[in-house]
Structure formats: C-alpha cells, structure tokens
Amino acid sequence: MDCCRSKTIFFRPLSLRNLLQEYMTWTKHHLAGKCDINHFQKNINPGKYATVWRAVHKKTGTAYAAKFVKKRRRNQDQMKEIIHEIAVLMQCKMTNRVIRLHEVYESITEMVLVLELAAGGELQHILDGGQCLGEVEARKAMKQILEGVAYLHDKNIAHLDLKPQNLLLSVQDCCDDIKLCDFGISKALMPGVAVREILGTADYVAPEVLSYEPIGLSTDIWSVGVLAYVLLSGFSPFGADDKQQTFLNISKCSLTFEPEHFGDVSSAAIDFIRSALIVDPRNRPSIHEMLDHPWISLKSNIPPTLHLKPCEHQNIQSNNITPKSTPITQRKSFACINDTGTVKSPGQRKNGFDTLSSTFTDSSSVPSDEEDGASLPENSENDDPLIPFLFY
C-alpha cells in the first residue's frame, strides 16, 4: 500500500458538495484500482452502523483493522460525518497515541477505513473480565490517555466520547501502549463559534451536554475524570438504576469515594479525579494542567498495588448489545469514490431528561440517529468548522 507523497490537499470550509468533490479527486489519485486487502479473518467489533474486521494484506501479510462504516443511516447520508472522521485521523498521523489510518476504500453501501491493528483490544475488556487497574497501572494508562487528548486539544479538536471502549491496547491486558480511536462525534472547534449538541455516552457525558450549554475542550476533561474513577474502581461515579437518575447525579456532581473501592487509592489520585469533575466547565483545568497534576507527573507517592485487581461487582460493562454481523467469507473489492452526497438537517430540539434518557443509550456513542427516534437540535452553528488537513 504505497502512500502518495506528492499529493497535498487542504480541507477548507466548503459546501458539502465541494468538499466531497475535492475528497473524490484525492481518492482517485490515491486509491486507483481495487483494494489490496482482501482477506478478512475475524469480526473484531460488530456494531449497529460500523463493524471492525481483522484484515490481512494479501501481499505483505500485515494485519490491519478494517472498519466498515455504513454510508446511510436511517435513510440519511452520512458521508460528511465519515469524511470528518477520516480528516481527524489524518490530522493525527504524527502521534502514537491515536490509532493510525492507512487507507480508505468505498463500496456501494460502505466506506472502509483501514486502520492500525491494536492486538490487545479495548481497555473495556479488562473491566468486563471482572478486574480494575491497580493505581500504578491506572496512572500509567491515564498519562497515555492524557497525551492523546492533549494532541487533539492542541489542534482544537474535542473527542467528546472518551470511554474504555474507545481506548485500544497494543498488547492484551497491558497498558504500556494505549491509543485513542473512534472520532465519529469529535468536533473541530473554532474560537467564538458555540457548539451545542446532545452526544456522548451516558455514564461519561459532561453536565454542559445535558443542559444544552456550549461544549468544548473542557468537555473531554470531565470524561477524563470519569475514566480515572472507573479504571481505579470498576464502577461508574454517577451510575444509577436508570438513565434519568444517572443524568441527575451528573448534573449535581454527586461524587463519592467508597472506602471499599478507594481504600488503597492515594489522595493524589482522588484529587486528580475531583479536579476534573467540576460542573462548571470554565473552572476545569486544561489538558496540560491535568498532565502536570502531581499524580500524573510522578510528584506523589503511590502505594504499591497489583497491576490488575479483582472487582467483586461492576456496573460498567461493555456497551455492545447489538447482534453480531454475518461473517464476510468472500473477497470484497472497492471502487474509488465516484459521486457526491448530501446531508439532511437534523430534527428539532426536544427538552427534558425524558428526551435525554431516550437519546443516550448503553449500546454505543450517540450521534443523531438512534433507533428510538431521538434527534439532535437544529443549529446552524453545529456544522464542523474544517481546519486545514494535510493528506499524504
């Protein structure tokens, strides 16, 4: 899979049609011919709108993760969202803390993103196995997560869906090399442009999302605090029997550190969590301030603990509740992009925790089109301001 090193394209704030035409020009130059990856071995992560397969290059034998993304969801064209995720991945090609994009292909119904394969799977799998991290291991993991988020924030990109399912391990049950993935609902932010959207995953969502206030880079900081709590305890800090109570706990920041789960956790780790979980996003630290926190910067003493420790009970489980997809058994060939698409405007805003409860689900990140019919508010300011992206 040779890279086209001489072709440079900058994304500009264009109309969708012009943007897709420019993307089409690059794709024809870069991906002429058929896909060289034609041996799909294993369904890694089946989902409602995207499925990840382990793919092997037919010439080199190199293994990749091939993410098949449906181009239409509930009769709405999703090309803009798919291209946005591709562009963000291209923008992050210089860091080892974000999963690497190698190639992009298209079939009639799907886009295929050929990604670096993280053989260790999701960080969530550790929690699903009845374990949480010892403090030394949790700090190591959080430092790498912060480094990845810092790279995004330095480019004014907010991930907006940080959770163990979107953190990949290079080696199973080992947190020595963690990579961020899934940028489907990320946002490229611009100064002075307010973005209000209902998105994210229920246990990790920030208060400003629930109250329909502007979201920003600080929205990720809240999720960082939730992540640290979950990795150290195996529990959600705000989880309840139903989503409405969970959202109420988040809005009030009803935060407790039960001795049975945090008895062997240092005060520095608890302070790290508290510093991130502040209701007013203006009062949260920046990502670089979080990296400088004594717990992360090795300025605090941590009691020795096991790398992994058992958790008797858990209320954070894998969010994947969708049926497995039919295995792919035959070769798929993918042509170059040859047309453009359109995106319909999202629906009108609905109010109240009843709407939020139906909008957020346990099964996945929630953009605008879950099966229950909940919709995002219509807001002309929500269109992603596309910053320049360099393609090789």
**Least confident among 90-94, 182-186, 310-314:** 310-314
- Put simply, whether the predicted model's pTM sits higher than 0.85 gets the answer no
Residue 230 placed within a domain: yes
Residue 99 placed within a domain: no
What pLDDT score does 72 carry?
A: 84
Residue 25 pLDDT > 70, yes or no?
no
Residue 196 placed within a domain: yes
**Least confident among 2-6, 47-51, 334-338:** 334-338
- Tokens 């090789």 locate to 392
Residue 24 placed within a domain: no
Mean pLDDT, to the nearest integer, of 61-83? 84
Residue 289 placed within a domain: yes
Residue 373 pLDDT > 70, yes or no?
no
* C-alpha triplet 135, 300, 285: angle, nearest 5°: 85
Which one of 161, 182, 203, 369 is the catalytic residue?
161
Task: Quote the number of domains for the chain.
Answer: 1
Model confidence band, residue 129 (pLDDT cutoffs 50, 70, 90) = confident
The reply to whether 161 belongs to the active site is: yes
Q: How confident is the model over 169-182, as pLDDT tens digits?
A: 998 878 889 999 99
Residue 355 pLDDT > 80, yes or no?
no
Q: What is the CATH number of the domain that holds 220?
A: 1.10.510.10
What pLDDT score does 276 carry?
A: 98
**Least confident among 27-31, 345-349, 386-390:** 386-390
Mean pLDDT, to the nearest integer, of 59-88? 85
Residue 343 backbone zone (phi > 0: left; psi -120 to 50: alpha; other: beta): beta
Q: How confident is the model over 160-169, as pLDDT tens digits?
A: 999 999 999 9
Residue 383 placed within a domain: no
What pLDDT score does 35 carry?
A: 54
Distance between alpha carbon 190 and the CA centroid of its chain, in Å?
20
Residue 55 placed within a domain: no
Question: What are the backbone angles phi and psi of residue 227, rounded to the nearest 5°?
Answer: -60, -45
Residue 342 placed within a domain: no
Q: How confident is the model over 109-125, as pLDDT tens digits?
A: 888 888 999 999 999 98
Domain that holds residue 181: 121-310
Mean pLDDT, to the nearest integer, of 285-289? 98
User: Nearest-CA neighbor of 200 among 322, 388, 359?
Assistant: 359
Q: How confident is the model over 32-71, as pLDDT tens digits?
A: 344 555 556 556 666 567 888 888 887 788 889 989 888 8
